[in-house]
């Protein structure tokens, strides 16, 4: 099975549509690691489109806050402003869909989905300090995670050596193929569709190919100016508009 992995779309419809265009014909099913909404200008359209293409979705911390399950009290001011705006935009139907999303880990055949980490949905796996303990106790060969908005991930080889998965900057399309080793354990981050923070503004995604035993990482440009204009018209905070072009 070829599985398309989506994460951290954050109401960015232009990035999402461009991504789905590039992914066309490259996957058999699609899963989502949460944060469908928050930050961007198109929460309803993104939720509705995502429901059409995915068959397994978990919630992220922004989905919880934007649907009113939590009060966004631990968010910074800008994230809180965007959360309040998103909450007002969402239709009752989309709010109840977001509220119905399960918390990870969500077990699939041969892998699991989490938003932050297997322990906590709002924990950031930035480096060895957080990732290594998770890999040591992992019961799955493959855990798919998001939340950091950084494409790549981590692995522990069969003999115990830890390694960070670096994705080189490359042209649009397939940028890296990771061969999965028997006996190794993986934390795979597909990158963020709608608000990358790894220094590259382009939408990131990944495909897990279970038969070929590999993960393919992709990047794609999208019409960023359209998203930014919509954000200005919605009067979303300026730094959130700027950060999209910086990939931070």
Q: At closest approach, how far in Å is the CB of 36 from Zn ion?
A: 9
E strands present in 69-139: 106-108, 111-113
Contact status: 198 vs Zn ion (CB under 5 A): no
Interface residue with Zn ion among 14, 35, 198, 200 (CB under 5 A) is 35
Q: How far is CA 124 from the centre of its chain?
A: 12
Q: Which residue is nearest to Zn ion (CB)?
A: 35
Residue 219 to residues 26, 151, 167, 175, 185: CA-CA distances in angstroms?
Answer: 14, 9, 10, 7, 24
Q: At closest approach, how far in Å is the CB of 155 from Zn ion?
A: 22
β-bridge pairing 111-113 and 162-165: unpaired
Mapping DSSP to helix (H, G, I), strand (E, B) and coil, where does residue 86 land? helix
Measured from the CB atom, is 8 or 134 closer to Zn ion? 8
User: What DSSP line would sit under 218-244, residue for residue?
Assistant: EEE---HHHHHHHHHHTT--HHHHHHH
Q: From 3-11, 120-128, 135-143, 211-219, give the range in contact with Zn ion by CB under 5 A.
A: 3-11
Measured from the CB atom, is 148 or 220 closer to Zn ion? 148
Backbone torsions φ then ψ of 130, nearest 5 degrees: -95, -35
Measured from the CB atom, is 35 or 42 closer to Zn ion? 35
Binding mask 209-238 for Zn ion (x = CB under 5 A): ------------------------------
Q: At closest approach, how far in Å is the CB of 7 from Zn ion?
A: 8
Measured from the CB atom, is 35 or 216 closer to Zn ion? 35
Residue where the block lists tokens 């649009």: 172
C-alpha to C-alpha distance for 112 and 65, rounded to whole angstroms: 23
Measured from the CB atom, is 68 or 209 closer to Zn ion? 68
Q: At closest approach, how far in Å is the CB of 165 from Zn ion?
A: 19
C-alpha to C-alpha distance for 174 and 167, rounded to whole angstroms: 11
Q: At closest approach, how far in Å is the CB of 4 from Zn ion?
A: 18
Measured from the CB atom, is 35 or 198 closer to Zn ion? 35
Contact status: 8 vs Zn ion (CB under 5 A): yes
- Contact residues: Zn ion, CB under 5 A: 8, 35
């Amino acid at each position: 099975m070829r599985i398309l992995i989506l994460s951290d779309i954050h109401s960015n419809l232009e990035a999402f549509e461009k991504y789905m265009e590039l992914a066309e014909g490259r996957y058999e099913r699609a899963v989502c690691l949460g944060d469908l909404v928050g930050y961007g200008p198109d929460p309803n359209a993104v939720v509705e489109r995502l429901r059409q293409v995915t068959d397994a979705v978990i919630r992220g911390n922004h989905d919880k806050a934007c649907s009113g399950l939590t009060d966004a009290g631990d968010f910074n001011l800008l994230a809180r402003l965007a959360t309040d705006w998103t909450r007002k935009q969402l239709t009752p139907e989309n709010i109840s869909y977001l509220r119905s999303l399960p918390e990870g880990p969500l077990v699939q055949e041969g892998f699991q989905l989490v938003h932050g980490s297997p322990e906590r949905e709002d924990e950031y796996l930035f480096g060895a300090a957080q990732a290594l303990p998770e890999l040591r106790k992992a019961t799955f060969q493959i855990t798919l995670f998001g939340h950091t908005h950084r494409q790549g991930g981590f692995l522990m080889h069969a003999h115990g050596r830890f390694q960070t998965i670096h994705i080189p900057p490359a042209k649009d399309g397939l940028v890296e193929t990771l061969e999965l080793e028997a006996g190794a354990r993986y934390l795979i981050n597909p990158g963020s569709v709608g608000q990358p923070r790894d220094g590259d503004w382009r939408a990131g995604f990944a495909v897990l190919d279970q038969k070929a035993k590999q993960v393919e990482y992709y990047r794609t440009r999208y019409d960023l100016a359209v998203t930014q204009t919509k954000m200005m018209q919605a009067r979303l905070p300026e730094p959130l508009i700027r950060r999209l072009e910086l990939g931070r």
